[in-house]
Amino acid sequence: MLQHNTAVGGGLQDHLGINYLYRATEPTLNGTLGSWRGRLAAGLRFVLQRAGPLSLSVNQMGGLVRSGPGLERPDTQLYFSPLSYSTDYVGRRPLLKPDPWPGFILGFNPCRPTSTGRIDIASPDPTQPPRIQPNYLGTAADVAGVLAGARLIGRLQQTPALRGLTLGPPAVDPAALTDDALLADFRARSGTVYHPCGSCRMAPEGQGGVVDASLRVHGVQGLRVVDASVFPNVTSANTQAPTVMLAWRAAGLIFAGR
């Protein structure tokens, strides 16, 4: 059976984040994970004791915060990593390599982007990658969210606690750049936080929907979609737990025959 619905692949959303790298006054995990010897020792420690840096999340601290007064709810997710590394998103994701000096990362992503993109089949050949048009920063609200988040990082780095831990501002200084420069830097260096969803949105037919509230595909008998693609919009934080929650709910719906 064929069902034509241009909403399939539309509604794509994601979180787009950026890192600011700081030189630290204290040793960080760069000292442990920056060499093969250190990595080997950390690997052995993990295998033998299930402990050490490899037993930890790379983001040791984070938070959902309001980037400024007057906001009703948090609009920015913060990340803090006790090591610093650069990523290269051009075509592939190489191994992360800690910097050869003590350093750490402060990063953020806006929580509720309003831009939507598309993912479409690019060829009848299933081995060919799809065509992805994320359309990041496609709205003025999303641009404002980026500037607010970057300014917040700039204020955080100027707190006495963080000034005591850093050897000055980062190379790209969110406290010093103009809005245009901040945005240009964000466009150049930001990357996905790996939360793509929404390309089979749960919404009414004809209003951008692919599945109904019971996750049944509009216009097709006996077919449901149960994954992050049915989110009506990207969640305000990480997507894994909401996907598990969705799967739990879907199992109930399927068992109940609804």
Interface pick for ligand FAD out of 15, 23, 118, 195 (rule CB under 6 A)? 195
Between 136 and 175, how does the x/- string for binding to ligand FAD read (CB under 6 A)?
----------------------------------------
Q: Contact between 89 and ligand FAD (CB under 6 A)?
A: no
Residue ranges of alpha helices (H) inside the chain are 30-33, 36-49, 140-157, 160-163, 179-189, 240-255
| Bridge partners, 106 (sequence order) | 20, 80
Q: Amino acid letter at 200?
A: C
Distance CA 222, CA 184 (A): 47
Q: Contact between 243 and ligand FAD (CB under 6 A)?
A: yes
CA–chain centroid gap for 60, Å, is 16
Options 43-51, 109-117, 202-210, 240-248: segment touching ligand FAD (CB under 6 A)? 240-248
Distance CA 242, CA 230 (A): 11
Tell me whether residue 236 is exposed, middle or buried, using C-beta atoms within 10 angstroms of its C-beta: 0 to 12, 13 to 18, 19 or more: middle
Measured CA to CA in angstroms, residue 90 lies from 87, 93, 188, 192 at distances of: 9, 8, 11, 12
Q: Which is nearer to ligand FAD, 80 or 169 (CB)?
A: 80
Whether 218 sits among the annotated catalytic residues: the reply is: no
Options 81-89, 129-137, 139-147, 232-240: segment touching ligand FAD (CB under 6 A)? 232-240
Smallest gap from residue 235 Cβ to ligand FAD (A): 9
Q: Which is nearer to ligand FAD, 169 or 233 (CB)?
A: 233
Interface pick for ligand FAD out of 122, 194, 245, 251 (rule CB under 6 A)? 194
Residues making contact with ligand FAD (CB under 6 A): 194-195, 227-228, 238-241, 243
